């Protein structure tokens, strides 16, 4: 285990160190201390590292991550794991808005609550939220899974494409073109896998699935009122 003190190294020092490690390095486990809510910690990583951040982080922690497993032992700001490609970002506390935005792959776990626009424009990422998500979550979600173990705010899945949403609790309202859908065997298997990966105790049978009605896929004036 290696330690990086953000107070001493600064953001550039920490990111530069983590980004330039050779892919086959033996120094895989890094602990970042004194994150102090700073922005852009551990962004653009490209390799199978294990990063433990001991405290709260600001915007975009783990942004565009590839392969690394990043654990935030605290709360996270806006855009956690934005545009992640692969790997894992795990928030032990709560996460602010736009968590997992535009993510292409990998797994984002938020043990606590996520704010609004969680999974906005998601493109293949899997997101598991232990608590609630705010309004407009999975807005224009293209691909991937959003699992919400608590409640979802207003306009869930507005203008959604092919992303799959699973919510255990209440949904305040569904957005344009988002409907409740049948939970088939493939979805139960998917959900089981995701809950297990996120170390959740909930059962797939407790969730409802939501997704696209696909009525807004090609513009029709008769659907203009949906917007």
Partner 1 sequence: MDTNIPRTIPRKSATFDDATLAEIRRAASTGIYDIRGAGAKRKLPHFDDLLFLGASISRYPLEGYREKCGTDVVLGTRFAKKPIHLKIPITIAGMSFGSLSANAKEALGRGASAAGTSTTTGDGGMTPEERGQSKHLVYQYLPSRYGMNPDDLRKADAIEVVIGQGAKPGGGGMLLGQKISDRVAAMRCLPKGIDQRSACRHPDWTGPDDLEIKIQELREITNWEKPIYVKIGGARPYYDVALAVKAGADVVVVDGMQGGTAATQEVFIEHVGQPTLACIRPAVRALQELNMHRKVQLIVSGGIRNGADLAKALALGADAVAIGTAALVALGDNDPHYEAEYNALGTTAGAYDDWHEGRDPAGITTQDPVLAARLDPVKAGRRLYNYLKVLTLEAQTIARANGKSHVHNLEPEDLCALTIEAAAMAQVPLAGTDWIPGKMRF
- Which residues are near partner 1 by CB under 8 A? 11-12, 15-16, 19, 39-40, 43-44, 46, 58-60, 63-64, 66, 78-79, 82-83, 85, 97-98, 101-102, 104, 117, 120-121, 123-124, 139-140, 142-143, 159, 161-162, 217-219, 221
- Token pair recorded at residue 196: 């297990």
In order of 28, 41, 62, 166, the CA distances from 23 in angstroms are 9, 19, 17, 35
For partner 1, which is the closer residue by CB, 151 or 162? 162
Rounded CA separation 18/144 (Å): 28
For partner 1, which is the closer residue by CB, 21 or 188? 21
For partner 1, which is the closer residue by CB, 185 or 219? 219
Residue in 17, 127, 134, 149 with CA at minimum distance from that of residue 80: 127
**Smallest distance from partner 1 to CB 227, Å:** 10
**Smallest distance from partner 1 to CB 171, Å:** 21
Residue 138 half-sphere exposure toward CB, CA atoms < 13 A: 41
Rounded CA separation 38/65 (Å): 17
For partner 1, which is the closer residue by CB, 72 or 195? 72
**Smallest distance from partner 1 to CB 77, Å:** 9
**Smallest distance from partner 1 to CB 43, Å:** 5
Looking only at the bridges linking them, the beta strands covering 178-181 and 208-212 are antiparallel
The SS3 assignment for 73 reads: coil
Residue in 33, 34, 4 with CA at minimum distance from that of residue 19: 4
**Smallest distance from partner 1 to CB 146, Å:** 14
User: For 77-95, b where at least 16 C-beta lie within 10 A, e where not — what string?
Assistant: bbbbbbbbbbbbbbbbbbb
**Smallest distance from partner 1 to CB 75, Å:** 16
Cross-strand bridge partners of residue 123? 143
For partner 1, which is the closer residue by CB, 50 or 104? 104
**Smallest distance from partner 1 to CB 56, Å:** 15
For partner 1, which is the closer residue by CB, 62 or 204? 62
> Contact 88/199 with Cβ under 8 angstroms?
no
Residue located via tokens 């895989």:
28
For partner 1, which is the closer residue by CB, 152 or 195? 152
Cross-strand bridge partners of residue 180? 210
């Amino acid at each position: 285990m290696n330690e990086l003190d953000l107070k001493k190294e600064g953001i550039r020092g920490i990111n530069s160190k983590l980004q330039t490690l050779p892919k086959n390095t033996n120094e895989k486990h890094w602990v970042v201390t004194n994150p102090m809510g700073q922005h852009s910690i551990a962004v653009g990583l490209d390799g199978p590292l294990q990063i433990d951040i001991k405290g709260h982080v600001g915007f975009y922690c783990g942004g565009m991550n590839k392969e690394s497993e990043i654990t935030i032992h605290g709360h996270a700001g806006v855009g956690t794991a934005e545009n992640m490609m692969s790997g894992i970002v795990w928030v032990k506390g709560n996460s602010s808005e736009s968590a997992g935005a535009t993510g292409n792959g990998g797994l984002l776990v938020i043990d606590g609550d996520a704010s609004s626009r969680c999974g906005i424009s998601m493109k293949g990422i899997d997101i598991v939220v232990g608590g609630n998500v705010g309004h407009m979550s999975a807005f224009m979600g293209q691909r991937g899974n959003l699992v919400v173990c608590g409640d979802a705010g207003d306009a869930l899945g507005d203008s959604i494409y092919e992303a799959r949403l699973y919510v255990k609790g209440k949904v305040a309202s569904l957005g344009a073109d988002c409907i409740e859908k049948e939970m088939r065997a493939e979805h139960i298997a998917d959900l089981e896998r995701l809950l297990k990966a996120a170390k959740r105790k909930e059962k797939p049978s407790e969730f409802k699935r939501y997704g696209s009605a696909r009525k807004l896929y090609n513009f029709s004036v008769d659907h203009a009122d949906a917007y």
